[in-house]
Amino acid sequence: MAEKKAQLVVEGRDPIELPIHSGSTGPDVIDVSSLTANGYFTYDPGFMSTASCESKLTFIDGGNGVLLHGGYPIEQLADKSDYLETCYLLLNGELPNAAQKEEFVSTIMGHTMVHESLTNFFRGFRYDAHPMAIMVGVVGALSSFYHDSLDINNPEHRLISAHRLIAKMPTLAAMCYKHHIGQPFMYPDNDLSYSENFLHMMFGTPCDDPDVNPVLARAMDKIFLLHADHEQNASTSTVRLAGSSGANPFACVAAGIATLWGPAHGGANEAVLEMLEEIGSVDNIDKYIAKAKDKSDPFRLMGFGHRVYKNFDPRAKVMKETCDEVLAELGLENDPLLAIAKRLEQIALEDEYFIEKKLYPNVDFYSGIIMKAIGIPTEMFTVIFATGRTVGWIAHWNEMISNPYKIGRPRQLYTGYNKRDFVSLEKR
């Protein structure tokens, strides 16, 4: 990184020189690590202006609607690649050749089963437990089954753990659903692709042969791919922070799942469906659009705009095409709830208010519609998000552990009491 200098000038103090680092693309960063020795911390709630790490995995330019994995635009990966190939890219930094891809896919499919004892673990949860509550528990519990490869300082162990997590997450996700509806768990069928296998385990039964619609399988693969990684978001930063303590990868990913569970992060596509149900009918759309434009009204349109992308979400362009394909395949163009969604989409793309504020439909809007159409219940949406994001979490964790790192220790601006003496109970 080419180094320049910045100066911090504080009245009555000598200037403090701070190095400026330039990445391969994106904004320069000011290295403030020396401030502590000079008696200062930085103050940045939400870390909105702070680069917490150096990474080669993913780059986002929100102003221009750009998302790159290893330098490859997300649109190209979604159009020409698939989820497991993108997983290989995030783990290795390069796309695989034919032989490497075949070996990688074979390795992942060889890890899809979970230990039979985990079925007993599932039975400890109430049938109506939220699937994300189950996922936090069972993913953390995986570390109790794989003592053979938990040395985080061993590159081979880290790779095996990555493969296991990527392979087992769809199996665990499907088990959450089966537990909820009271059907028997389905074993993976490794003659199927990654996404076909997931749908088979979700909706298949032991009474029937696998029968997965290829259009739906492609849509599921794109949902996984488009959620594979999104730079230093809340859950990924959590995985890195947990990993900085030396915690095992299963515990770190469980921490990521817990963070993703929050409605401000992973619940956006679930919120889209809840909004559509609240609107209730196409006849009510004008009223709700007016409410959305009224700053004093608490109602908000969910699935429009994005806190990172100040332009069109590049993932949404791909999801829109996939959404149209799925609805056509299933003959659901006239479904009442989906009709509301299509009308909202039209308004957002044509109404000057939405265009001016760049409130375009985002990836959560379209992925929520797709999963509703496939028959996936809304409480499973975040679990599917976690399944796709697992590779991003484990790739960032591995990148951090593979290089010199420090345990995370954010500072604070203390505004509590100054030192005061303890007063005994009888004198208070």
- pLDDT at position 175 is 96
Within 10 Å of residue 31's Cβ, how many Cβ atoms? Answer: 15
Rounded-to-integer distance, Cα 183 and Cα 160, Å: 31
Q: What is the pLDDT of residues 240-259, one digit of tens each?
A: 999 999 999 999 999 999 99
In this structure, what token pair is assigned to residue 93? 């930094």
- pLDDT at position 187 is 95
Q: Which residue has the tokens 């994106």?
A: 26
Distinct helix (H) and strand (E) counts, the chain: 17, 6
User: Starting at the edge strand that comes first in sequence, how are the strands of the sheet with 66-69 ordered?
Assistant: 58-61, 66-69, 72-73
- pLDDT at position 255 is 97
Catalytic residue among 306, 313, 335, 396: 306
* CATH class of the region 72-404: mainly alpha
The reported pTM is 0.92
In this structure, what token pair is assigned to residue 42? 């930085």
> Residue ranges of the domains in the chain?
4-51, 72-404
Q: What is the pLDDT of residues 137-149, one digit of tens each?
A: 999 999 999 988 8
- pLDDT at position 2 is 47
Q: Does domain 4-51 have CATH number 1.10.730.10?
A: no
Is 364 assigned a catalytic role? yes
| C-alpha torsion 28→31→35→41, nearest 10 | 60
- pLDDT at position 308 is 82
Q: Residue 334: which pLDDT band, with cuts at 50, 70 and 90? A: confident
Catalytic residue among 179, 200, 364, 396: 364
